[in-house]
Amino acid sequence: MNPTLLTIYILIWPVICIGLLSVLIVSAIKDWRKARKEGRSLV
């Protein structure tokens, strides 16, 4: 396998994980703000 392709393949996983984690964090913050605005518990 080409070393450049292997390097890109290995380095793309952290980017995907960071993207997924950021989506989850932003969604959790939005839900927390909405719950706080409505005066109810998040859980």
Residues 2-41 have pLDDT tens digits of: 999 999 999 999 999 999 999 999 999 999 999 999 999 8
Cβ contacts of 36 within 8 Å, gap of 6 or more:
42
Length of the chain: 43
Phi, psi (degrees; rounded to nearest 5) at 32: -65, -45
Residue 1 pLDDT grade (very low, low, confident, very high; cuts 50, 70, 90): confident
pLDDT of 34: 95
pTM score, whole prediction? 0.71
